[in-house]
Amino acid sequence: MTTTAAGLLGMLPKGLVLLITVSLAVGVAKLAKSRVLVQDLFSLESLAHVDVLCLDKTGTLTEGNMRVERLVPLTGDPPIPLETWMGAFLAHSDDSNATFRAMRAYFPDGGGELAPIAKIPFSSQRKWSAMTFPELGTLVVGAPERMTGTEIPETLQNELRQGKRVLFLACTQETVQPDTPLPPMTALAALVLSAPVRTGAAETLAYLQREGVAVKVLSGDHPAAAAAVAARAGLPGASAWVDMSRVGTGEELARAAARYTVFGRVSPEQKRELVRAFQAQGHRVAMTGDGVNDILAMRKADCSIAMAHGSEAARQAAQVVLLDDDFTVLPQILMEGRRVVNNMTRVAGVFFVKTIYSILLSLFCVLANLPFPLIPIQVTLIDLFIEGYPAFFQSFVADGRKIQGRFLPSVLRRALPNAAAILLAAAGLLLGGGTLGLPAGQVPMALYLVIGVVEAEALLKSCLPMDRLRGFLFLTASAGFFCAVLLSIRSWRCRRSSRPRSRWSCWCPLSPSWRNGCAPWGWTSSAARGPWMFSPWDPPVPE
């Protein structure tokens, strides 16, 4: 029964699950100091593998606060002063995104006496919002290309190429429906809005490029404006942009995903399909968002990141929330994820050595009709000194290297050679120990020492490249393991000695019992004095 328990104990990498959880929890606590809320503990592991990061332009590459630079009159003549009409429009609008907040700051309060009889809220799919007033008609605010019968003047084209947002204010006397194209419109004026590039965005994008993370900009804005902002932020390949309103689905969208860096006029469904296309190309994708239009893509992505200023729905759907809306903390999140994965891959190989050889050795003992050659205390010593103690402290070491390969294959490649060596040594000792002149009672101890040497070599591999901390951990773990062997030998000799002695004298080096034959150095004097350590084949203790 004892040996069966030892075999079962060895099959389970018990400490690894706890160690992974503790390491992730430490990473979450460290990120909390940088105002990053991690809502899913294992999202750090997902972020560590990300090689494509999808960003929005507004609030990510740029500051979250937009402002209206100027109002440009166009050809149309409004029935009432445009400021009054826009004041009424904004007073009765339920939209509260960054664009509408900027317009409310620009237009003075007014037009409160005008009450609309119908209104259509802004939609990322439609790219416009509308409101109908009695005797005045319908005022529409939205993307210029969605306004039927209007053209963008060259001066405003230049504004777009500089990265600014241009909205048309247009009116019509015809009925406007939310699910049908707009009727012919009369352009009244254009609003030019801008937002400064976020401080530190260039350094963050440069870091991500060095670490092999491709950044894609998915924006609902005009593609030329989004590309200009991306170029000012220092995004490589920002000149490769596409208008997604002219891109179909299926193969055409997949080709666009592989070719372009900046995607403008993207609908919520297209964001999701772009994420799916990146994943189909073999990438691990992270998606940032701040509105309900990003939720479809965030749920499809391998990891989702939301801004705190965004909608409640986006924050609930995200695995990570940036409480200060600071895009520049992404490298720190990436580094914490890599620390966890790299360190767990490093130490898991040591845990899996014991798991593999315990399973294979148990099968061998069943087929050979032999007891499992280890007992629980021996397995516990391996868990403590070879696996638990050094792995715990190694898990906190900074390691921001790019992750190579998958976790399980990497761990098995590290563990299999050592596990195979232990299995061959065990088979040789169990079947050929007598031929070598090794008494049966000494086989378990000999095997235990072999396991210690091979496991120490596995521990040494996990400590490479060596530094002061890893060197200290390796030396103290190895010394602790072999000192525990000597103490266990001494305890066995005391338990089987016929001379009475107190319990403390079996462990105190200053006691007479320690000096008179029970000291560890006395164990080699004669093989006839008993086996080297507790074993399944110990002889009965004399009465």
324-365 pLDDT, tens digit per residue, is: 988 889 999 999 999 999 999 989 999 999 999 999 999 998
User: What is the pTM for the complete model shown?
Assistant: 0.79
Distance CA 491, CA 218 (A): 69
The CATH architecture to which 36-62+198-325 belongs is 3-Layer(aba) Sandwich (3.40)
Rounded percentage of the chain residues whose pLDDT exceeds 70? 88
For the record, the structure tokens of 543 come out as 């009465």
> In this structure, which topology does domain 69-194 adopt according to CATH?
Calcium-transporting ATPase, cytoplasmic domain N (3.40.1110)
Distance CA 136, CA 358 (A): 83
Distance CA 202, CA 339 (A): 24
Q: What is the pLDDT of residue 512?
A: 52
Evaluate if residue 107 carries a pLDDT over 70.
yes
Cβ 307 vs Cβ 330: under 8 Å:
no
Strand ranges across the sheet with 285-289: 36-38, 320-322, 303-307, 285-289, 52-55, 214-218, 262-264, 241-243
Taking alpha carbons only, the member of 402, 498, 418, 488 closest to residue 453 is: 418
- The verdict on whether 324 is a catalytic residue reads no
Evaluate if residue 483 carries a pLDDT over 50.
yes
What letter does residue 536 receive in the DSSP assignment? T
Q: Could you give the residue ranges of the DSSP H alpha helices within 282-406?
A: 295-300, 312-317, 330-368, 376-381, 389-394
Evaluate if residue 515 carries a pLDDT over 70.
no
For the record, the structure tokens of 110 come out as 């007014």
CA dihedral 215, 216, 218, 219 (to 10 degrees): 70
- The residues spanned by each domain of the chain are 2-14+335-529, 36-62+198-325, 69-194
Distance CA 283, CA 275 (A): 9
Confidence of residue 496 (pLDDT cuts 50, 70, 90): very low
**Could you tell me which residues come within 8 angstroms of residue 231 by beta carbon, excluding any fewer than 6 positions away?**
163, 238, 239
For the record, the structure tokens of 467 come out as 């530094």
Taking alpha carbons only, the member of 390, 391, 418 closest to residue 480 is: 390
Which is more confidently placed, 367 or 483? Answer: 367
What letter does residue 197 receive in the DSSP assignment? B
Distance CA 36, CA 305 (A): 10
Catalytic member of 40, 51, 56, 383? 56
Confidence of residue 531 (pLDDT cuts 50, 70, 90): very low
The DSSP secondary structure of 212-241, one letter per residue, reads T-EEEEE-SS-HHHHHHHHHHTT-TTTT-E
| Average pLDDT of the residues in 303-315 | 88
Taking alpha carbons only, the member of 298, 468, 498 closest to residue 393 is: 468
**Could you tell me which residues come within 8 angstroms of residue 530 by beta carbon, excluding any fewer than 6 positions away?**
441, 492, 493, 496, 538, 539
For the record, the structure tokens of 91 come out as 């007073």
| Average pLDDT of the residues in 151-161 | 88
156-163's contacts with Cβ under 8 Å and 24+ in sequence apart are 156/72, 156/190, 156/192, 157/224, 159/192, 160/222, 160/224, 160/225, 160/228, 161/224, 161/225, 161/228, 162/225, 162/228, 163/194, 163/225, 163/226, 163/227, 163/228, 163/229, 163/231, 163/232
Q: What is the pLDDT of residue 398?
A: 87
| Average pLDDT of the residues in 291-302 | 90
Peptide bond into 465 cis (omega under 30): yes
Confidence of residue 60 (pLDDT cuts 50, 70, 90): confident
Place of tokens 């870091």: 207
Q: What is the pLDDT of residue 31?
A: 93
Distance CA 247, CA 380 (A): 62
Q: Is 460 helix (H, G, I), strand (E, B) or coil?
A: helix
Taking alpha carbons only, the member of 158, 113, 107 closest to residue 133 is: 113
For the record, the structure tokens of 365 come out as 């003992």
Distance CA 257, CA 262 (A): 9
Q: What is the 3-state secondary structure (H, E, C) of 129-190?
A: EEEEECCCEEEEEECHHHCCCCCCCHHHHHHHHCCCEEEEEEEECCCCCCCCCCCCCEEEEE
Evaluate if residue 525 carries a pLDDT over 50.
no
Distance CA 381, CA 165 (A): 66
